[in-house]
């Protein structure tokens, strides 16, 4: 069986003027199927297209996210009002836990600090919709995931070591992540489509 080549594509293109250049390969694949040529090659072509496009799409929608330059020099993350409320509620949860950790350490109740930290650890991010996570820029996601991880580590160390000074050192480092994130990003609402 003869393999399809550029001349076949040109011939098909001349007969089908509705082919758009952006969709050329797909139209070529389907028109080749229609013409009955090299049908055995179609699965390989589709596999190749899938294998090359999947990582790119995954990067774009699962990791890259989107942020635009803001007027104050930070990056603005554009979210719907509901998504923005969810992210801000999570941040208020961080702040509430920080306050409880400081109070617990001041009262020498390191176990209470562990409870407050664990509440906003990695388990807390399970309720965040995948669609929202996809909208967030990679750097923001890294800071957020790391903040949850740091709270988990603080809780674990507080339980195992029971050392208030160590807990405060960890909290100081954790607050550096919060300050870094708020220095780099802001969340702006956009109207839902």
Q: DSSP letters of 45-63?
A: HHHHHHHHHHHHHHIIIII
CB atoms near residue 181 (< 10 Å): 19
Give the domain ranges of the chain. 6-64, 68-189
Averaged pLDDT of the chain: 82
Architecture of the CATH domain 68-189: Up-down Bundle (1.20)
pLDDT band with cut points at 50, 70 and 90 for residue 38: low
Is pLDDT at 101 greater than 50 in this prediction? Answer: yes
For residue 127, the cross-strand partners are none
Q: Which of 42-46, 55-59, 61-65 has the lowest mean pLDDT?
A: 55-59
């Amino acid at each position: 069986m003869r393999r399809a080549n550029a001349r076949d594509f040109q011939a098909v293109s001349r007969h089908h003027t509705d082919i758009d250049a952006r969709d050329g390969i797909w139209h070529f694949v389907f028109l080749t199927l229609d013409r009955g040529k090299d049908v055995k090659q179609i699965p390989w072509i589709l596999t190749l297209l899938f294998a090359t496009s999947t990582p790119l799409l995954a990067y774009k929608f699962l990791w890259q996210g989107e942020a635009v330059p803001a007027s104050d020099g930070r990056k603005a993350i554009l979210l719907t009002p509901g998504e923005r409320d969810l992210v801000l509620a999570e941040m208020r949860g961080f702040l509430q836990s920080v306050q409880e950790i400081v109070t617990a350490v001041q009262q020498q109740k390191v176990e209470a600090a562990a409870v407050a930290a664990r509440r906003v650890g990695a388990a807390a991010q399970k309720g965040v919709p995948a669609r929202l996570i996809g909208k967030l820029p990679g750097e923001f996601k890294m800071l957020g995931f790391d903040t949850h991880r740091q709270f988990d580590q603080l809780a674990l160390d507080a339980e195992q070591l029971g050392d208030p000074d160590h807990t405060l050192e960890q909290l100081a480092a954790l607050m550096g992540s919060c300050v870094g994130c708020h220095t780099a990003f802001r969340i702006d609402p956009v109207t839902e489509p």
